[in-house]
């Protein structure tokens, strides 16, 4: 199966440290790419759209500002954590998330 392609900024993010290398002005583009990646994956492989898309900006901001994984994040439900999983090194296997 073909891997879903991430946008140019998201492709280079495997850890929160990678995200922190970006300028604040680039974060909105990261959010746009993250949202599109989630939509593309869920459209093909199934999953939940609403909860994950609703926290894209929050997830990106938390990982940009906090010292994760030392500062721990807790999500209400697993499908709110889609963006978190993608930004923390699981983008390439995200299609197996179910």
Domains in the chain (CATH in brackets) are 10-96 (3.40.50.970)
State the pLDDT at residue 22.
Answer: 98
Sign of CA dihedral 45, 6, 32, 91: positive
Place of tokens 């900024």: 9
pTM, entire model? 0.92
Residue 81 has pLDDT above 80, yes or no: yes
Place of tokens 């709110």: 80
**CA atoms of 64 and 66, how far apart (whole Å):** 6
Place of tokens 């989630």: 38
Give the rounded distance of the alpha carbon of 30 from its chain centre: 9
Residue pLDDT, tens place only, 48-71: 888 899 999 999 999 999 999 899
State the pLDDT at residue 14.
Answer: 96
């Amino acid at each position: 199966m073909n891997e879903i392609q991430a946008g140019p900024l998201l492709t280079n993010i495997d850890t929160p440290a990678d995200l922190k290398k970006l300028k604040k002005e680039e974060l909105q583009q990261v959010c746009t790419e993250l949202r599109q990646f989630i939509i593309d994956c869920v459209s093909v492989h199934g999953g939940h759209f609403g909860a994950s898309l609703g926290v894209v900006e929050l997830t990106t901001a938390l990982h940009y500002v906090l010292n994760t994984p030392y500062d721990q994040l807790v999500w209400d439900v697993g499908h709110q954590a889609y963006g978190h999983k993608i930004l923390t090194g699981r983008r390439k296997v995200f299609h197996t998330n179910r």
